[in-house]
């Protein structure tokens, strides 16, 4: 009996360790989008790529900026590990600029800050290696608002978001990238994502994307 109990406990150990956090990114939608991106030919020079999760995916970037060279490489639900997995499709295009935002889904799935930062470092370094002429804009993780309940797992991460954004700013400077603080411009007086800009506590309404656009234009990044 004791031997069977020890064996059972040993068999459970790998699953317990893996269950500490969930870095799964390969949803059906993710795979659909990646296969679509891979089939799009490299036809334009000077492409501008917005790379990220659903917050990027939702936006109509080319229409918003009236620029047909802007390409949307956002995938709803994506995480830092997912970006690493599909990054070659972006870097092989040798874009002129890459606007990166990722990480809130990692936090929702319990991925440790150290893993998120480590994956960001790998993303930045690979872009620098594989597409050295591209200007890389590292955009802050945005605030959320727990007034809404639809995305409860993404809420109450304020301290982690602030800590990660601080490290991203430092890493961007060290690697010769540009850090873009979008977080503060979208906060309300309590430090939450303003209801002027969201209707679910996580994603942006049109007004939020206009704030984003205006920041990039005012700083002459686009």
pLDDT tens string 108-128: 999 999 999 999 999 999 999
pLDDT tens-digit series, residues 186-215: 999 999 999 999 999 999 999 999 999 999
pLDDT band of 20, cuts 50, 70, 90: low
State the pLDDT at residue 23: 61
Q: How far apart are CA 78 and CA 74, in angstroms?
A: 8
pTM over 0.75: yes
87, 102, 144, 204 from 114: Cα distances, Å: 20, 14, 21, 27
Query: Is residue 157 packed enough to be buried (19+ CB in 10 Å), middle (13-18) or exposed (0-12)?
Result: buried
The answer on pLDDT for 3 being more than 50 is no
**pLDDT at residue 29 above 50?**
yes
Is residue 9 over pLDDT 50?
Answer: no
Q: Do 63 and 87 meet the contact criterion of CB atoms below 8 Å apart?
A: no
Which has the closest alpha carbon to 155: 186, 119, 114, 201? 201
pLDDT at 43 over 50: yes
According to DSSP H, which parts of 58-150 are helical?
61-65, 80-91, 104-108, 113-130
């Amino acid at each position: 009996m004791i031997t069977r109990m020890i064996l059972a406990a040993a068999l459970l150990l790998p699953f317990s360790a893996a269950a500490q956090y969930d870095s799964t990114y390969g949803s059906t939608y993710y795979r659909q989008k990646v296969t679509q991106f891979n089939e799009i030919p490299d036809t334009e020079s000077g492409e501008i790529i917005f790379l990220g999760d659903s917050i990027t995916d939702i936006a109509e970037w080319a229409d918003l900026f009236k620029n047909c060279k802007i390409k949307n490489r956002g995938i709803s639900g994506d995480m830092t590990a997912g970006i690493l997995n599909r990054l070659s499709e972006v870097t092989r295009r040798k874009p002129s600029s890459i606007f990166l935002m990722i990480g809130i889904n990692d936090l929702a799935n319990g991925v440790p800050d150290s893993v998120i930062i480590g994956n960001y470092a790998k993303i930045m370094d690979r872009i620098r290696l594989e597409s050295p002429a591209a200007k890389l804009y590292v955009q802050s993780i945005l605030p959320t608002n727990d007034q809404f309940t639809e995305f409860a797992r993404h809420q109450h991460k304020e301290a982690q978001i602030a800590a990660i954004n601080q490290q991203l700013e430092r890493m961007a400077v060290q690697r010769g990238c540009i850090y873009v603080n979008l977080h503060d411009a979208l906060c309300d007086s309590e430090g939450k994502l303003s209801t002027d800009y969201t209707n679910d506590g996580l994603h942006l309404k049109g007004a939020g994307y206009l704030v984003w656009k205006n920041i990039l234009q005012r700083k002459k990044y686009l």
